[in-house]
C-alpha cells in the first residue's frame, strides 16, 4: 500500500470540486440550467469532463446541488429580513422587498431558480424551496396575527399566495429577453417592487395603502 490519501490531496480534490461548483454557478447565472453543458463547465473549471463525474453522480445531481445552495442563500436572506425588529407586518414587508430586490439584481439566476423549465428532479427541489419560503412567511403571518397587526386568516393560504404573487410579478421582468420584449433595464425596479409589496400587504392586512 504505497498510496494513501493525504490531507494535501483531500484539499486539492475539494478545490477542484469547488471550482466545478463555481463554474456551474457561473454558467447557470449566465444562461440558466438548460444551457449549461457539462463540457463547457469542465472547460471553465479546467478539468476533463470525466472529472466532473468523480465529484458528482450526474449532471442532475450537480445541478441539484447548485440549485439548493443558491436557493438556500436566498431563503436565508429572507429569513434574516424576517428576523429584524418591528412588528410582523413591517418585517414581512422587509422580507418581500429583500426577495424581490435580490431577484432583480441577479435576474438570470433568479429566473433559473424561480421559473426556468427544468427536469423533474430540479422541479422537485423547486417545490421544496417554494414551500420553504411559504413556511417562513406563514410563521411571520401567525406572529402578526398574535401581535394583532395582521387580521386573523388562513396563514398557510396567504403565505402561498404571497409566494405566487411575487414570483408571477417577477417572471415577466426576469424572463430572458425574447425578440422585441421589454428588458429589465426599461422598467422602474423600485416602482415594480413597491407595487408588488402594496398588493401583498393589502392582501395580508386587509388595509388599503
Partner DNA sequence: ACAAGAAATGAATAATGATTCACTGCTTAT
Partner DNA sequence: ATAAGCAGTGAATCATTATTCATTTCTTGT
Q: Smallest distance, Å, CB 195 to DNA?
A: 38
- Give the cell for residue 98: 429583500
**Partner whose binding site includes residue 43, from DNA, a copy of itself, none (CB under 5 to 8 Å by kind):** none
Where does this chain touch a copy of itself (CB under 8 A) — which range of 61-69, 72-80, 100-108, 122-130? 122-130
Q: What angle do CA 28, 165, 206 make, to 5 degrees?
A: 150
Q: Which is nearer to DNA, 77 or 121 (CB)?
A: 121
Among 25, 26, 31, 59, binds DNA (CB under 7 A): 59
Cα(175)–Cα(205) distance, integer angstroms: 30
- Of 14, 124, 146, 147, the residue at the interface with a copy of itself (CB under 8 A) is 124
For a copy of itself, the closer of residues 77 and 131 by Cβ is 131
Residue (45 or 162) nearer to DNA, CB? 45
According to the binding rule CB under 8 A, does residue 30 interact with a copy of itself?
A: no
CA 104, CA 122: separation in Å to the nearest integer? 22
**Residue 38 interacts with DNA (CB under 7 A)?**
yes
Among 22, 25, 31, 60, binds DNA (CB under 7 A): 60
Binding-site partner at residue 160 among a copy of itself, DNA, none, CB < 5 to 8 Å by type: a copy of itself
By C-alpha distance, which of 160, 142, 158, 148 is closest to 203? 158
Instruction: Assess 174 for contact with a copy of itself (CB under 8 A).
Output: no
| Cα 117 from Cα 11, distance rounded (Å) | 35
Q: Does 49 bind a copy of itself (CB under 8 A)?
A: no
Q: CB of 60 within 8 A of CB of 119?
A: yes
Cα distances (angstroms) measured from residue 197 to each of 166, 172, 193, 204, 205 = 8, 16, 6, 10, 12
Judged by CB under 8 A, the residue of 24, 71, 143, 169 near a copy of itself is 169
DSSP letter assigned to residue 86: S
Q: How far apart are CB 177 and DNA at their closest, in Å?
A: 20
Angle at the Cα of 98 from the Cα atoms of 96 and 101, rounded to 5 degrees: 105
Compute the CA torsion angle 173, 34, 113, 14 (nearest 10 deg).
Answer: -140
User: For binding to DNA (CB under 7 A), which residues are involved?
Assistant: 1-6, 8-9, 12-13, 16, 37-39, 46-51, 53-54, 58-60
Amino acid at each position: 500500500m504505497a498510496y494513501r490519501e493525504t490531507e494535501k490531496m483531500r484539499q486539492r480534490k475539494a478545490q477542484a470540486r469547488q471550482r466545478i461548483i463555481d463554474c456551474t454557478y457561473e454558467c447557470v447565472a449566465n444562461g440558466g440550467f438548460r444551457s449549461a453543458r457539462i463540457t463547457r463547465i469542465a472547460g471553465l473549471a479546467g478539468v476533463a469532463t470525466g472529472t466532473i463525474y468523480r465529484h458528482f453522480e450526474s449532471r442532475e445531481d450537480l445541478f441539484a446541488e447548485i440549485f439548493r445552495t443558491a436557493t438556500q442563500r436566498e431563503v436565508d436572506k429572507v429569513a434574516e429580513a424576517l428576523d429584524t425588529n418591528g412588528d410582523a407586518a413591517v418585517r414581512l414587508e422587509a422580507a418581500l422587498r429583500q426577495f424581490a430586490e435580490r431577484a432583480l439584481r441577479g435576474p438570470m439566476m433568479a429566473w433559473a431558480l424561480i421559473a426556468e423549465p427544468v427536469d423533474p428532479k430540479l422541479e422537485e427541489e423547486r417545490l421544496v424551496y417554494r414551500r420553504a419560503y411559504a413556511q417562513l412567511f406563514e410563521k411571520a403571518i401567525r406572529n402578526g396575527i398574535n401581535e394583532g397587526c395582521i387580521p386573523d386568516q388562513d396563514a398557510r393560504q396567504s403565505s402561498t399566495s404571497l409566494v405566487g404573487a411575487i414570483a408571477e410579478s417577477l417572471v415577466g421582468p426576469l424572463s430572458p429577453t425574447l425578440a422585441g420584449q421589454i428588458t429589465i433595464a426599461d422598467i422602474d425596479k423600485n416602482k415594480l417592487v413597491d407595487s408588488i409589496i402594496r398588493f401583498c400587504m393589502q392582501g395580508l392586512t386587509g388595509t388599503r395603502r
